[in-house]
Structure 1
């Protein structure tokens, strides 16, 4: 269970816009969720937060292709 009081409001709002990311985030172990939340606390703008949330589960590009 995720305690909303621990989440930065901008992070919560962006997760609400990305239900697929929200579901994957909720399924992570607590330590990983806390690490992502800590990263969200250092984001300064709405655009940065959108990029941060969208990048959480983005697959890294494979340089072999």
Structure 2
């Protein structure tokens, strides 16, 4: 949780797959984190969430899975 707010599960799972993005996300201000979290709440598909997380800090990470 961030400031007693639950993170969307899909968002959390994607951050776990992108440790570099998770590190950058954790370095943001609380206001910036909350804005990104609020945006993640409207996402319904796994592919959309992956794109959302990958777009937070630039180039998408390639994956073999």
TM tier, smaller: 0.7 to 0.9
TM-score by length of 1: 0.82
Aligned-residue Cα RMSD (Å) equals 1.9
Q: Would you identify which runs of 4 or more consecutive aligned residues in structure 1 move more than 3 Å?
A: 1-5
Question: In the alignment, what sits opposite 1:7?
Answer: 7
Q: How many residues align?
A: 59
Question: In the alignment, what sits opposite 1:53?
Answer: 53
TM-score by length of 2: 0.82
Q: Encode CA deviations 1:20-62: one digit per residue, 9 max, x unaligned.
A: 0000000000000000000000001000000000000117xxx
Question: In the alignment, what sits opposite 1:38?
Answer: 38
Unaligned runs of 5+ in 1: 60-65
More helix per residue: 1
- Whether 1:17 and 2:22 are equivalent positions in the alignment is no
Unaligned runs of 5+ in 2: 60-65
